[in-house]
A and B are shown apart, each in its own frame.
Chain A
Amino acid sequence: MNVLAWCVAAWLLGVGIYGIVTSRHYVHLIGCMTVCQSATYVLLLGIGFRWGAGPPIFYDHPPGTPAVDPVMQALVLTDIVVGAAMTALLLAIALQVHKRRGTLDPQHLRPLRPRE
């Protein structure tokens, strides 16, 4: 149980990398990148977790009751926001690549070679 969260994070990263390497479509590849990124959510939330603690929002329970680490939750929030913006940017790139090359299969793109 103690190592489960860290194992899940490592497994998500590995699965995401496998997906990126074997991907045959750029949109699928972007999805795999977000899987890699979700490893960081699990890792950060796992680091901040505390047994028997509530949320770091002292509305219903008074300040001083045990709460999980708010800094880690703020970092995950930053992570998600930047991730969403980057996904949009990558999808825009994928659209332009499809307009220019007519395919989104990395196998057929060969970006370093001139257009036939």
Chain B
Amino acid sequence: MTGSWRLALLAPALVVLAIAAAQVILAMPAFGHPLSQYGATVDALVPMLRNVSNMVAAVNFDIRSIDTLGEESMLICAVTATVVLLRGHRGEGMTECAGRLPGRVWLERSDATVLMCRLAATTLFLYGVNVVLHGTVTPGGGFQGGAIAASSFVLIYLGEGYSTWRDVLHSETLAAVEGFGGFVFAMAAMVPLAFGYAAAQNVLPLGTWKDLYSGGLMVIVNAAVGVAVIGSFGVLLMEFMEETRAPKPGDEDDEDQEEGA
């Protein structure tokens, strides 16, 4: 289908969308006056019921904990699918030599880059862990803190180069970390069932409001999500970076490569 045909089909579709959107917009409740009682009830009751101050974390890790378990499983499934797709014929055997385009200039990293990356990577990782651990108290939580901590891996790559990066991080370890986080979350949902409670019911002592330990089971679920997100993002980065390394002979499907070139 050529570009003009696509646009010709798109135009009526957008007209229909515009009419439908206008209908919906006119029927929406007034902006800034939410009708939902759910959120208002959470705001009013949950600080006393669960001793936590971060309501978003309370919704994610306690009130709608089973939904978050589904979301977590989706994340792990998507990461697994990405890994399977990227590895393809490459398998798990990996060289520790970065690929290089012929003719590209090779520049040595400056000491300042290496130093800054080492400092920033460590600080960023600790900051991410801090955001995870205070998930029930201040803004943040497992997902946000995990993403911050995992981005320190990119800084290690930037500062140390490919081969050192591969020495420091192992994809088996990252995958195990990811799986462990998911497992702990699933257990946090299932273990209460074994004792006759509802799934993921908050059965632990609730702790004190504004304290690092506040929210009971939420603390464990939050930390498990953080660990799983660190593992998932690490695995993703590792597999995408693997695309840049030098292929070993017979390691990759050379036929496809030639055809692609």
B104 at the interface (CB under 8 A from A): no
- Cβ-defined contact, B31 with A69, below 8 A: no
B residues contacting A by CB (< 8 A) are 2-3, 6-7, 9-10, 13-14, 17-18, 21, 24-26, 28, 30-34, 36, 38-40, 42-44, 47-48, 53-56, 58-60, 64, 67-68, 71, 74-75, 78-79, 81-82, 85-86, 88, 137-139, 141, 143-144, 147, 210, 229, 232, 236, 239-240, 243, 256-257, 259-261
- Cβ-defined contact, A96 with B56, below 8 A: no
Q: What are the 3 closest A-B residue pairs judged by CB atoms, nearest first?
A: A69-B39, A85-B78, A70-B55
Sample of 14 more A-B contacts, CB < 8 Å, known A6-B28, A57-B54: A2-B31, A17-B13, A18-B14, A56-B54, A63-B48, A64-B44, A69-B34, A70-B43, A74-B60, A78-B67, A78-B68, A81-B75, A98-B260, A100-B256
Distance in angstroms from B182 CB to nearest chain A CB is 13
Contacts of B42 in A (CB 8 A): 56, 70-71
Contacts of B71 in A (CB 8 A): 78, 81-82
CA distance A95 to B18 in the complex (A): 35
Assess A72 versus B39: contact at CB under 8 Å? Given A21-B7, A77-B56, A78-B71: yes
CA distance A46 to B25 in the complex (A): 12
Assess A96 versus B88: contact at CB under 8 Å? Given A6-B25, A71-B39: yes
Contacts of B243 in A (CB 8 A): 95
CA distance A74 to B58 in the complex (A): 9
CA distance A88 to B235 in the complex (A): 11
Interface centre among B40, B55, B138 (most CB of A within 10 A): B55
Contacts of A68 in B (CB 8 A): 34, 39
Binary contact readout A5-45 vs B (1 if CB under 8 angstroms, 0 otherwise):
11100100110011001100000000000000000000000
- Cβ-defined contact, B10 with A48, below 8 A: no
Residue among A22, A84, A101 making CB contact with B7, cutoff 8 Å = A22
Contacts of A51 in B (CB 8 A): 32-33
Contacts of B48 in A (CB 8 A): 63
- Cβ-defined contact, A5 with B47, below 8 A: no
- Cβ-defined contact, A71 with B14, below 8 A: no
Q: List 16 A-B contacts (CB under 8 A).
A: A1-B31, A14-B17, A17-B10, A21-B9, A22-B10, A59-B137, A69-B39, A70-B58, A71-B42, A85-B232, A92-B85, A95-B86, A95-B243, A99-B88, A100-B259, A102-B261
